[in-house]
Amino acid sequence: MTSSVLYTGELRTLATHLQSGSTIETDAPTDNQGKGERFSPTDLIGTALAACVVTTMAIRGREFEDQLKGLDIKTEKIMSSNPRRITKIRMIFTWPTSSIFNADQRNKLIDIAMSCPVKESIHPDIELEIEYNWVAES
């Protein structure tokens, strides 16, 4: 087993990673009866995608390790109401100003990003909108 999820009441859960003991609390979103004071379960899909993308970049693009430090990926999930599900995940990559990539390096990183296991597990009906804010070459 990987995790334990305990329902704590008031539309909240406490997830514990069994190997490390680290925890994540969730709350239902404000548009679905929650307080929105924690990640919602659906927020974690976009968050997992961003974490997986950068981790996969670091694993498969070891030569970029120093340039990946400080990469900030903002995520947003867009929901539909009937049926209630994620229809789009937006990700905005903002690279540190010290991270300059040529066109070939950018293409390699994009290819790596689009092959991460979470991306490959997301239903193809979920639209991915990705913005890469690369630092301009000198």
Q: 18 and 59: one domain?
A: no
Confidence (pLDDT) at 136 = 67
Q: Are residues 59 and 126 in the same domain?
A: yes
Same domain? 17 vs 50: no
For residue 86, which of 126, 120, 121, 38 has the smallest C-alpha distance? 126
Enclosing domain of residue 18 = 3-32
> What pLDDT score does 98 carry?
87
Whether 70 and 12 share a structural domain: no
Model's pTM, two decimal places?
Answer: 0.92
- For 107-126, the DSSP string reads HHHHHHHTT-HHHHHS-TTS
> Does residue 22 sit in the same domain as residue 63?
no
Domain of 68, CATH number, reads: 3.30.300.20
pLDDT by residue (tens digit) across 56-106?
Answer: 999 998 999 889 999 999 999 999 999 999 999 999 999 988 888 999 999
